[in-house]
Amino acid sequence: MVENIQRVAQEIEAAQLTSAAELEQFRIAYIGRKGAIAALFDDLKSVAPEQRRQVGQELNQLKNRAQTRFDEAQEQLANANTGSEAENAFDFTLPPIPNTLGTRHPLSLVRAEIVRIFERIGFNVADGPEIEDDWHNFTALNFPENHPAREMQDTFFLSEDRDKLLRTHTSNVQVRLMENNQPPLRSIMPGRVYRNEAISARAHMVFQQVEGLYVNKGVSFKDLKETLYYFAKEMFGQDTKIRFRPSFFPFTEPSAEIDISCLICKGEGCNICKQSGWVEIGGAGMVDPNVLSNCGIDPEVYSGFAFGMGIERITMLRYQIRDLRLFTENDVRFLRQFKGVI
């Protein structure tokens, strides 16, 4: 018996424990319920009663020693993260893990880029509700009651009295901004807008605009032109041309429509630019003094400019997309083309 204990003790000291497999073998051979030490405990019965206590103690020490060796070796193995070479080897025959990351939607990409461009010249981002009341979408913006300009906007009304509606433009956020803050104000306001229009390659009933507003002392039309010229060149390339056509909006005076040279056909004429070589990207103008005073800002002291642009249109020009319906069809063959664009 004593010899057996010594032999097992030597084996335990000599055992090589450098891999997970060796460790497991050791556990089964010595520590486990069917291992050598358990067998020695069984043999304790055959030991003469007067020696049993002594042998029992030795066995307990042996058991503790085996456990300690096991624990230490296990910890070392975990720290070194070694293992046999075969266990560590990279299996080159495994199929690759496919990259299933999605892509950002092109409209989100372009919206983020617009924000970046304007942030560089001191604009911050403001937000407002898509369900709006008459005051913020129309009246405060100088749309007279029953004026045909209201009809121009193909409004989706949400209540019989026409006081609840889906906003037809992001200009409602201008109003909210001016009502709640005093100048200087310099913000852009991207968001969804709604109009009751037939869906085609060029128009949709839900689309996105980005509004811009700058109100301060001494803001001029020149500031407006310079700002939009800077934007067009940053967004579409340094050789982009821009032109302003006289126009009308109730909330700006004077008002202009902003065109840039068509990047799809390079001015030769295509279905996006209606064969004209120019594409409208939005409207702009100097904030009408009535709008300033409707919002609690003194038009004798302050002036401002505002602009509103269609994000779909800008995206189509930027990525040469010919049909606006692609944005909402969720065709992965289209969406995947924007992989990796940040």
Minimum distance from residue 327 beta carbon to ligand PHE (Å): 18
**234-242, 268-276, 303-311, 321-329 -> range binding ligand PHE (CB under 6 A):** 303-311
From residue 196 to residue 215, the character string flagging contacts with ligand PHE as x (rule: CB under 6 A) and all else as - is: ---------------x----
Minimum distance from residue 120 beta carbon to ligand PHE (Å): 21
Does the protein bind ligand PHE through residue 252 (CB under 6 A)?
yes
| Contacts of residue 238, Cβ cutoff 8 Å, sequence gap at least 6 | none
**54-62, 93-101, 108-116, 300-308 -> range binding ligand PHE (CB under 6 A):** 300-308
DSSP 167: -
**95-103, 129-137, 278-286, 327-335 -> range binding ligand PHE (CB under 6 A):** 278-286
Minimum distance from residue 159 beta carbon to ligand PHE (Å): 22
Q: Is 211 annotated as a binding residue?
A: no
Does the protein bind ligand PHE through residue 285 (CB under 6 A)?
yes
Distances (CA, A) of 320 to 80, 236, 262: 55, 11, 10
> Closest residue to ligand PHE, Cβ-based?
308
- What is the rounded CA–CA span in Å between residue 87 and residue 114? 51
Does the protein bind ligand PHE through residue 308 (CB under 6 A)?
yes
**29-37, 88-96, 143-151, 283-291 -> range binding ligand PHE (CB under 6 A):** 283-291
Minimum distance from residue 288 beta carbon to ligand PHE (Å): 10
Minimum distance from residue 169 beta carbon to ligand PHE (Å): 3
Length of the chain: 342
Q: Report angle CA 251, 253, 258 to the nearest 5 degrees.
A: 90
Does the protein bind ligand PHE through residue 283 (CB under 6 A)?
yes
Closest C-alpha to 12, from 58, 52, 68: 68
> 75-79 long-range contacts, Cβ below 8 Å, gap at least 24?
77/17, 77/18, 77/19, 77/20, 77/23
- What is the rounded CA–CA span in Å between residue 196 and residue 293? 31
Radius of gyration, CA atoms only, the chain: 38
DSSP 98: P
| Contacts of residue 207, Cβ cutoff 8 Å, sequence gap at least 6 | 192, 193, 195, 310, 311, 312, 324
Q: Pick one of 169, 176, 186, 313: the residue that binds ligand PHE (CB under 6 A).
A: 169
Minimum distance from residue 213 beta carbon to ligand PHE (Å): 8
Tell me if 129 sits within 8 A of 167, measured CB to CB: yes
Q: Pick one of 284, 292, 297, 324: the residue that binds ligand PHE (CB under 6 A).
A: 284
- What is the rounded CA–CA span in Å between residue 141 and residue 143? 6
Nearer to ligand PHE, 63 or 167 (CB): 167
Q: Pick one of 142, 171, 172, 315: the residue that binds ligand PHE (CB under 6 A).
A: 171
- What is the rounded CA–CA span in Å between residue 104 and residue 93? 32
Minimum distance from residue 139 beta carbon to ligand PHE (Å): 14
Residues that bind ligand PHE (CB under 6 A): 169, 171, 211, 249, 252, 282-285, 306-308
Q: Which residues does the annotation place in the binding site for Mg(2+)? A: 253
